[in-house]
Amino acid sequence: MTAANQDQPKRLRRVLIANRGEIAVRVARACRELGIETVAVYGDGEESALHVRYADDAFHLPTGDVPPYLNIEALIDVARRARADAVHPGYGFLAENAAFARACDEATLVFVGPSPDAMAAMGDKVEARRLARAAGVNPVPGSDGPVASVDDASAWAREHGFPVAVKASAGGGGRGFRVAHDAGELAAAFAGSSGEGERYFGNAAVYLERYLEHPRHVEVQVFADAHGTVVALGERDCSVQRRHQKLIEESPSPAVTQVIRDELCVASERLARAVDYRGAGTVEYLLDADGSFYFLEMNTRIQVEHPVTEMITGIDLIKEQLRVAMGHPLSFGPARPAAHGWAIECRINAEDAGRGFAPAPGTLTRYREPAGFGVRVDSAMAAGEVIQARYDSLIAKLIVWGRDREEATARMRRALDDFTIEGVPTTIPFHRKVFRHKRFRAGEATTTFLAEHPEVVPEPADAAVVPDGEAPEPPVSLHVEVDGRRFAVAVSGLPGQTGVGERRGNPPRGRPRQGRRGSG
């Protein structure tokens, strides 16, 4: 939360959502419940996307040297034109960019997130390790700071032993992460981590950590307000991953006892206080088999997997972000809220698991979500919508709740079987195999689960996939209405829109706005 809203509660009237897809829809729904108008932004080919149609207003972002959702100048300009008084960054893109938060401050826009200083402190992974150590939270054993060369990395590895994790100082989301199991792999790991850090984060610096062989990846959701209250809302287990990126998340963790949970929560609250944190944040740890845990990083934003915490606590974390940004105290604290039952999330991606989880963009020809008691789907998709190669491959987040883990896993198996998506390969076949695997069902999966159990990876799909880095122009997804029925169609060859802040009227959402300001 920025200086503009620290003194006393203020009313947010109109929020620009600097994101797309399901998280933009998720934020817009929370805003609507709070009586806040929303402004969407969109790039080429997204004119009829759900997050655009759902918002009260929408503005086109230009495609140029800077990708649309990373263009700080364009986003601030749109916020001014749209008469917004706040910006919600969602996750990804600029959500953890301190320069964007400062730009919002300078434009007298409330940034729905932590202060730029807190974001910058935790965004540099080397600095975050130092701050964690100072707060009494032990990081994974590693180098004291950035490692300048492969020779320096080799010297550190000879002293501490292999395997070694090479990490980009500004990395995150699995980017800029390589593992060297022996001296022969170190040079390639160093170059790969440094190069990816430079490409994705503009920072080639890397540091080293001891690579734990069979850890759990456990994270703690924290929330803080401007009134001195910091509360941890329990842990999530995110151990099932590919390329160090999460595929399945659950809360609570099957490996965490109440004693360990209390220790994790205390450590996370202490770290949040140390950086004067505000809003939603996640502190990530590696949990060893003996119950010891080590700080990895702090994500200064809402997480993709936040719904599992919502399901077991009953707290709308997006609405809580907005309340904190307005200067209100936490609606639950200062005591930690009680957790009820078990929740699990599967990321349903347009990826071919049989081809190394290669992204598989394209048009969804059929889309039918599962339903029933304890089933939730966060998505912005429908038949006819396009998964664009230039953006993330996420189609939907499938979340289930059960009274215990056995009920939750059984419900997830049923929901996966009920989920129909055609037109692109998806990770649904992979998830089905995982949820029927005896080791996962026993709650024993670690971060090495996929490497140790390749049998959960299905055969390659028949549909063609697009490798990372290639981005063909997709058709535009449009909706037309004939005799009262809506149809999704894909149209190619339409002229693109250009210019910052090009305004357009939104298609009808199927009901009158009833006094809500339209886009004109």
Name 315's Cβ contacts closer than 8 Å, sequence gap at least 6.
Answer: 233, 309, 331, 332, 337
Q: Residue 242 catalytic?
A: no
Give just the sign of the alpha carbon dihedral 55, 61, 66, 67: positive
Helix (H), strand (E) at residue 183: helix 183-201
Say if CB 381 and CB 424 are below 8 A apart. Answer: no
Q: Which residues pair with 16 in a beta bridge?
A: 39, 87
- Helical packing angle, 116-123 and 98-106, nearest 10°: 170
Say if CB 171 and CB 201 are below 8 A apart. Answer: yes
pLDDT in tens, 464-491: 444 444 445 444 444 444 444 444 444 4
pLDDT in tens, 284-313: 999 999 999 999 999 999 999 999 999 999
Spatial distance between the Cα atoms of 163 and 446, rounded to a whole number of angstroms: 17
pTM over 0.85: no
DSSP state of 270: H
Helix (H), strand (E) at residue 415: helix 405-418
User: With bands split at pLDDT 50, 70 and 90, how would you rate the model's confidence at 56?
Assistant: very high
Spatial distance between the Cα atoms of 322 and 187, rounded to a whole number of angstroms: 45
pLDDT, mean over the chain: 88
Spatial distance between the Cα atoms of 377 and 399, rounded to a whole number of angstroms: 6
Spatial distance between the Cα atoms of 379 and 394, rounded to a whole number of angstroms: 9
Burial classification of residue 418, based on how many CB atoms lie within 10 Å of its CB (0-12 exposed, 13-18 middle, 19 or more buried): middle
Coil, helix or strand for 170? strand
402: tokens are 């059960």
Spatial distance between the Cα atoms of 73 and 80, rounded to a whole number of angstroms: 11
List phi, psi (to 5°) of 143: -70, 155
At residue 470, the pLDDT reads 43
Spatial distance between the Cα atoms of 306 and 283, rounded to a whole number of angstroms: 13
At residue 7, the pLDDT reads 60
Spatial distance between the Cα atoms of 387 and 375, rounded to a whole number of angstroms: 23
pLDDT in tens, 60-81: 999 888 889 999 999 999 999 9
20, 301, 347, 405: the catalytic one is 301
169: tokens are 């100082």
pLDDT in tens, 384-420: 999 999 999 999 999 999 999 999 999 999 999 999 9
Cα 232 versus chain centre, distance:
19
DSSP per residue over 433-466, as a string?
HHHT-HHHHTT---TTHHHH-GGGSPPPPSS---
User: With bands split at pLDDT 50, 70 and 90, how would you rate the model's confidence at 5?
Assistant: very low
At residue 507, the pLDDT reads 40
Cα 149 versus chain centre, distance:
32
Burial 304-338 (b: 16+ CB within 10 A, else e): bbbbbbbbbbebbbbbbbbbbbbbbebebbeebbe
